[in-house]
Structure 1
Amino acid sequence: RVHIGGKVVRDAALRVDMNRDRIVVDGDAVVAERKVYLMLNKPRGVVTTRDDPQQRDTVYACLEGLDLPYVSPVGRLDKASEGLLLMTNDTRFANRLMDPASHLPKTYHVQVATVPDETLLDRLRAGVTLDDEILTANAIELLRSGGRTAWLEIVLDEGKNRHIRRLLAAHGIEVKRLIRIAIGSLPLGNLAKGTARHLTAQELALLG
């Protein structure tokens, strides 16, 4: 019934590589689903789940009209956050990027409702411990300020739940906008908000 590489297989637990092994079931070849790698500029106010019990808008609305197999987000951006989100049907690729051991940096531009001086920036860089969880950043820099707000650039190589918001809130800093502008060396660029496109081979190479 099942042949892999020309040999009959009866072990249902046998691991196969769909990109390498020729698999035939009852005489019909099983073809691997094409791999899809997308970048999406997530708008504020949508969630990254497929089906939301609260009937909120999801990122999948941004994919309507595209001829795609089922794809999943690589990691998350919370509802109030914006910017670069990867989506794929390649679980190996997704797991590699999400593995904490990869230390893949992610860069954010964050608008805050205060203008931090260097002393406050140093306190942010030192990190905080909340509920036995250490929250730190690889880098925090002041990009610009005006009036009562400022923009910070924050780089993380880990992604704890609401990491940046909790780190800033611990110092009494309100987040007004949070935009992910890069994953590793892959920039969001000028991709329009709420739209998605396929990654190029060169862009995939930037992600290793």
Structure 2
Amino acid sequence: MSLDGDVVCDPYRELKPGPDRVIYLRGQPLSLAPRLPHVYLYNKPRGVVCSHDDPHTGNTLGRVLRAEGFIGYTWAGRLDRDAEGLMILANDGALISRLIHPRYGVEKVYHVWVGERRRDGEMRGILARMREGITDAGDKL
């Protein structure tokens, strides 16, 4: 690693941000200037796992993003491997936290399409259970 042209060997060296400061890591420049937040909407296709890395599958959202140059991005929420849908991506972890953590009370709306036709009574029961939600670690989801 080098900082402003000088090799840095001290792993505890403090790095203060500045518009003209540049770190080279493995020969690639990394700016210390504050990053502008970027937010994108992404239509996750079926077959992609919502994980940064998974040793059991190569098709993770984290790997897809890195391959496309979206370094340092994360997302709000999760979709199952077999689900497709819209996701929010951002390089601002604090924003993602505000969107997903229950203490901020951000209301979420989900649109679900059922793949097979159900009887009306059965469908009403399914919808009623979905409206009730589930509780996980004391939080209603």
TM range (shorter): 0.5 to 0.7
Selected match of 2:73 from 71, 85, 89: 71
TM-score, normalising length: structure 2:
0.60
CA pair 71-54 structure 1, distance change in 2 beyond 3 A = same
Q: CA RMSD in A?
A: 3.2
TM-score, normalising length: structure 1:
0.43
1:115 is matched with 118
Higher strand share: 1
Gaps of 5+ in 1: 1-22, 128-135, 139-155, 161-208
Moved over 3 A (4+): 60-69
Preserved contact between residue 65 and residue 73 of structure 2 (Cα < 8 Å): no
CA pair 24-44 structure 1, distance change in 2 beyond 3 A = closer
Gaps of 5+ in 2: 1-15, 23-31, 137-141
Preserved contact between residue 52 and residue 63 of structure 2 (Cα < 8 Å): no
1:145 is matched with none
CA distance in 1, matches of 2:42, 2:126: 29
Give the partner amino acid of 1:104: E
Equivalenced residues, count: 110
2:42 is matched with 40
CA pair 65-47 structure 1, distance change in 2 beyond 3 A = closer
Percent identity over paired residues: 24
Which has the higher relative contact order, 1 or 2, with Cα contacts under 8 A spaced 6 or more apart? 1
1:31 is matched with 33
Give the partner amino acid of 2:119: P
